[in-house]
Structure 1
Amino acid sequence: MAELPLFRICECNLNSDDLCLTLDEKILFADVYFGDHSKKAVTMAETCDFFPLMCKLYKRNKTNLDFNLDEFLKHPFSVFENELDSLFVGGDEGKYKYCALLLCVLYDNSLMENHFTTHDLVFNEKLETVCEACELNKGTSKLVFRKALDLLNGTFISKEHDIYHTIHDKLFDFIGKYFGTRHIDCLLDCCASSFIKERFSYPTPIENINAEFTITLPVKCTSKYILRVITEWSKGNVSVALSNVNMKNQSFKTDLLQQLKTIDTSVQSDLARKKDNRNIDDSALLQSCFVGDQEITSWILECDNDCNKSRPNGESPLLIASYMNHLPIVRLLINHGAEINQSKKNNVSPLFMASQEGHIDVVDFLLSCNANVNMCRSDGQSPLGVAAINGHFSIAKKLIDKGAEVNKSSNKRMTPLHNACHKGHIETVRMLIENGSDVNICSKTNSSPLYTACYIKHVSIVNALISAGADLNKGDLDGFTPLYIACSIADVELVNALIDNGASANTYIKLGYTPLYVAIGSGNIPIVNKLIEGGADVNIGVKGGASPLYKACHTKQPSIANTLIDKGADVTLLCFAQEHCHTL
């Protein structure tokens, strides 16, 4: 299990809507490969996520006398099933290939060539098991099976960088299911831990498992499966148990717990404290908190009650459970003595994490247990601040009711009100104002909440801030006022709201421009008229330089030029600017 920030990294899924083949592209494939039969193929292609493989299979098998296109389109992998059946009864040469494919399954589609040329005790034992399952002499040379894989190259197998794997992942899905139904004992004894974790399902069906290619365990094999899972756990493959595809199956969990409780208590404790081989920072408890299973977590805590053991970066079981919205696990951990304010190295607490993710029930429970409502992240961001920026209105209200400081700012002096304004969360803005947020606190760049609201063009928030007494003329470090921002983005509604409430139309920014000069540049006549109506001086443009009239003429806007002249613009300033070669 990766650290929390990694959970949000997107995978490259070639079957996703953005990356998969379009229907038009599949039609082109069908025309090339299926020819006169392309219409039949397209019907199937609409729902098929491995259509290029289908095309390849059709091309390879269409000349066979017993090939039936309709049957192929319904059951495309029947081609491989027939070939595998033929290999098994095709004498030793066929069985060598059959066994070689079974070996590929045991290694979860990643069989390294050097297994055949080096002394590898584990591989040798697996090979003996395979030979026995396939009724071959256990003393058969390993090189025979390597040759068999090489002969399968291009049909079933592809070899890249000295690793054998099937020519397509879907083909491996099928082959795994094929061998799982015929040699299940061999697979349960010898297959890779990842195969155990992902490709078997308990007899009772559950949702979200790909039933087409999942190996359903016969009832008689469930005990063997449970023992294999526990064995993998004891070896440090903790996720084989705790991230197993069957964890949502109550029958699996019941059998697993029953078997665990029959083990010697010292061994149980060892399992509960076991760290995962793939991520040594992950304990069984951390993984169970991520998965969210209450029964397994409870058993782990009974065996090892240290519920505050965290990763090196400070992520605790309680923080992970809070992040994943596993309220029953959060309750369980608190009841076992979890430190409610234990934080990561960047000072993120469980309450902060739940507030950020919008997990209101977890927030409610943590607050009832007196979590520190004002404990900030290392950058000064508070739980209220992060709830505000994500628009979690109800959580923000609960935090305030529990004493959250509404004006607590981050290291950049951004308050919760700044955050809510920046993301356009009007209801949260109103609630913060009602609870005493200072509408004129400025950030490190001297940006006020009103400035921020104008920047994102949110008129409702602007009006709410103005009603609460926001300073209409407070500019940032460069002198950009809310009105200047509204003019620069040519938002008539914002300009009207600001002018109607008394914003100064003649304030210079540091660069020396007035709002009117900027509005003329965008050619927005209603804004120009509103600024003049609001008292803008028609002769003030660039400090010590070009006038608004010069700007209108230079940008070839006669309507605005005439308006300025009608309102008293001094034409001599235009001549002066021209004489002295003033530019924008």
Structure 2
Amino acid sequence: QISQILQTWKINNSYFVETRAAKHVLESVMNNSFVTVTASFGAGKTATLQYVALQMRDVGYDVLPITNPNDLVKYYNTNKQTLFVIDDVCGTYSINQFHLNNWGLVMERIKVLIQNKHTKIIVACRLQVYMDEKFQSLSIFKTCVCNLQGKQLCLSQTEKLSIANLYLKTEATEIMQYCDLYDCFPLICKLSNDNPKRDIIDFFKNPFSIYEYEIDKLYKRRNNGKYCVLALCVMFNNSLKEQWLTDEIDKQIRKIIKNTCEACNINRGTSRLFLLDELKTLEHTFIKKKQGVYTTIHNKIFDLLSFYFGKNMIECLIRNGDSELIMQRCLLERKDDMDSFITIVPPKYHRMYMQRLIDDWSKGILHCVFNNINMKIPEFRQRFLRYLNTLDISAQKQLALTRDVNNKDTVLLQCCQYDDTLLIQWCINHGIDVNQCNYKGMSPLYISAQEGLTKVVMLLLDNTADINKCTDDGASPLFVACQKNHKEIVKLLLDKKAVIHNGMDDAISPLLIAKKMNHTVIVRMLEENGASE
């Protein structure tokens, strides 16, 4: 499979212009163990990532594309020159807390691995993910950063002309006056090349409005089958499996397909083979197929589709959309710093949206409920809690005892990422074990200490949280508070007589980690309480 991926990259590379940014990233990888490439959508970060990986392969490196940070540890080989390649790290649209946590769990291990000069890691992430304050906790990602939109690396006019010539040939000069309208100029060139029937000037003036116009036209001209399969791509969060349109499928998938057909004004019983034929007609314009899965030709096209159908079929989307789609792409209230392709849920559908979260919760999809982008907003959490309290007591207790289907987290473990004592108190009131740990042995107290949530730490301690409960690798709440420089929490834990020597299994104590991180105030606090090396 890796050889197939690299072969695809090689084909893609035939349309790659070697820019100053690409040369800089390659040089950075040669000279550093960990390199982060960041840019907005369509600016060329994935293409640059693939170019660099192929260049490194040519000089003798094994190139391993991965998605899970645990694979870094799994496939690490001290005797081989290896380049690990990770695209869209920590989320494609907004930061994915679940993925962020996975990186956090192996971060110290990775720091050790890359001390071996044979091992290199290159990651790419969207600029809005990189700029998220939660991303700042992954310090290793900051060691060598290549921002493709920075002054030193952004595309020059000469480079833009080279890209235009590569894709558009004789039409290149016609559009150069519009080349600075969007950061995603390389993507627009590619999309324009993929749509030979377009008016090139209109396309470069407003490329995404062209796609919106095309979708509208499908519906108005009663090409409802094509319209429907685009909607299905959205409902299944840009991962529409071909077998769902050909083979036996479970009731839930069948229901989603039927509901989407109905919302698109075609018969609920429409043949799935007909839908597959319609899907195939959209290949290379909207859709591509890879290993039996249909996705959009670029993530930005999916951004547009999800926004379009969120605006035009919001009820269908809330009821039938994939849980991660609901988590990442719908806001109940407009925010100043929100992405332009976020769907704003109209007020009349707010209760329906919150009920959808409850439904996902009841199915154990806790990570999508409590990492929902709305949950970052205190006012939404208050509204959600009020809605939760309208349910009958037995339903609330059942929800409280539900654990995540993937990592077995309790609701309390999920809630401890927020500085929200009312939410934590709801968990405690409904009988959730305050000492139940996640699969890495992290307790609610440990997580809240790690996040620097003083009020939550106090509430948990007041409700019999084990102050000395350590993770599987031996780290205590005091240790992580010292590591993260959370002074108030360190003082609180010391006042509550936390064991002062509990540290990592490799004998790094709270005092040693505080000294290593140069947290001088905490060092003094620990020493005043009897800590010594």
Question: Is the shorter-chain TM-score for this pair beyond 0.5, marking a shared fold?
Answer: yes
- What CA distance in whole angstroms lies between the structure 2 residues aligned with 1:369 and 1:305? 23
- Contact 2:178/2:205, CA 8 A, preserved across alignment: no
What is the deviation of 1:208? 5.1
Residue type matched to 1:116 in 2?
L
Aligned residue for 1:359?
486
Aligned residue for 1:152?
282
Aligned residue for 2:29?
none
Where 2:479 maps in the other structure, the secondary structure is: helix
- Structure 2 residue 427 is the aligned partner of structure 1 residue 300: yes
- Contact 2:481/2:489, CA 8 A, preserved across alignment: yes
Render the CA deviation track for 1:537-564: whole Å, top value 9, x for unaligned. Answer: xxxxxxxxxxxxxxxxxxxxxxxxxxxx
- Structure 2 residue 237 is the aligned partner of structure 1 residue 97: no
Render the CA deviation track for 1:404-458: whole Å, top value 9, x for unaligned. Answer: 12xx2xxxxxxxxxxxxxxxxxxxxxxxxxxxxxxxxxxxxxxxxxxxxxxxxxx
Aligned residue for 2:242?
113
Q: Give the direction of change, closer, same or farther, for the CA distance of 1:311–1:139 in structure 2 (3 Å limit).
A: closer
Q: How does 1:251-270 map to 2 (within 5 A)?
A: 251-270=379-398
What is the deviation of 1:58? 2.7
- What CA distance in whole angstroms lies between the structure 2 residues aligned with 1:207 and 1:380? 47
- Structure 2 residue 178 is the aligned partner of structure 1 residue 41: yes
- Structure 2 residue 313 is the aligned partner of structure 1 residue 183: yes
Aligned residue for 2:302?
172
What is the deviation of 1:61? 4.9
Render the CA deviation track for 1:160-210: whole Å, top value 9, x for unaligned. Answer: 10101100000000000001100111111111111111110012x336532
- What CA distance in whole angstroms lies between the structure 1 residues aligned with 2:285 and 2:196? 15
- Contact 1:340/1:371, CA 8 A, preserved across alignment: yes
- What CA distance in whole angstroms lies between the structure 1 residues aligned with 2:323 and 2:310? 15
- Contact 2:428/2:434, CA 8 A, preserved across alignment: yes
- Contact 1:31/1:38, CA 8 A, preserved across alignment: no
- What CA distance in whole angstroms lies between the structure 2 residues aligned with 1:272 and 1:40? 58
Q: Give the direction of change, closer, same or farther, for the CA distance of 1:305–1:107 in structure 2 (3 Å limit).
A: closer
- What CA distance in whole angstroms lies between the structure 2 residues aligned with 1:364 and 1:183? 52
Where 1:18 maps in the other structure, the secondary structure is: strand
Q: How does 1:422-461 map to 2 (within 5 A)?
A: none
Aligned residue for 2:36?
none
Render the CA deviation track for 1:290-348: whole Å, top value 9, x for unaligned. Answer: 34433322211111242111135431111111112122221121111111111123321
Q: How does 1:186-197 map to 2 (within 5 A)?
A: 186-197=316-327
Where 1:37 maps in the other structure, the secondary structure is: helix
Aligned match for 2:344, one of 216, 222, 235: 216
Q: How does 1:186-335 map to 2 (within 5 A)?
A: 186-203=316-333, 205-206=334-335, 209-210=338-339, 212-280=340-408, 282-335=409-462
Aligned match for 1:5, one of 105, 119, 129: 105
What is the deviation of 1:289? 1.1
Aligned match for 2:186, one of 36, 40, 52: 52
- Contact 1:106/1:191, CA 8 A, preserved across alignment: yes
What is the deviation of 1:119? 2.7
Where 1:333 maps in the other structure, the secondary structure is: helix
Q: How does 1:343-354 map to 2 (within 5 A)?
A: 343-354=470-481
- What CA distance in whole angstroms lies between the structure 2 residues aligned with 1:390 and 1:105? 45
Q: Give the direction of change, closer, same or farther, for the CA distance of 1:142–1:62 in structure 2 (3 Å limit).
A: closer
- Contact 1:194/1:240, CA 8 A, preserved across alignment: yes
- What CA distance in whole angstroms lies between the structure 1 residues aligned with 2:197 and 2:253? 39
Q: Which 5+ residue runs of structure 2 have no aligned equivalent?
A: 1-97, 111-120, 128-144
Aligned residue for 1:129?
259
Residue type matched to 1:86 in 2?
K
- What CA distance in whole angstroms lies between the structure 2 residues aligned with 1:143 and 1:298? 51
Q: Give the direction of change, closer, same or farther, for the CA distance of 1:366–1:160 in structure 2 (3 Å limit).
A: same
- What CA distance in whole angstroms lies between the structure 1 residues aligned with 2:278 and 2:107? 41
What is the deviation of 1:224? 0.2
Aligned residue for 1:374?
501
Richer in strand (by share): 2
Q: Which 5+ residue runs of structure 1 have no aligned equivalent?
A: 409-584
Q: Give the direction of change, closer, same or farther, for the CA distance of 1:14–1:288 in structure 2 (3 Å limit).
A: closer
- Contact 1:209/1:245, CA 8 A, preserved across alignment: no
Residue type matched to 2:305 in 1?
I
Output the aligned Cα RMSD. 2.2
Where 1:23 maps in the other structure, the secondary structure is: coil
Q: Give the direction of change, closer, same or farther, for the CA distance of 1:127–1:18 in structure 2 (3 Å limit).
A: same
- What CA distance in whole angstroms lies between the structure 1 residues aligned with 2:388 and 2:529? 43
Aligned match for 2:213, one of 48, 68, 82: 82
What is the deviation of 1:27? 4.4
Q: Under a length normalisation based on structure 1, what TM-score does the superposition of the two structures give?
A: 0.64
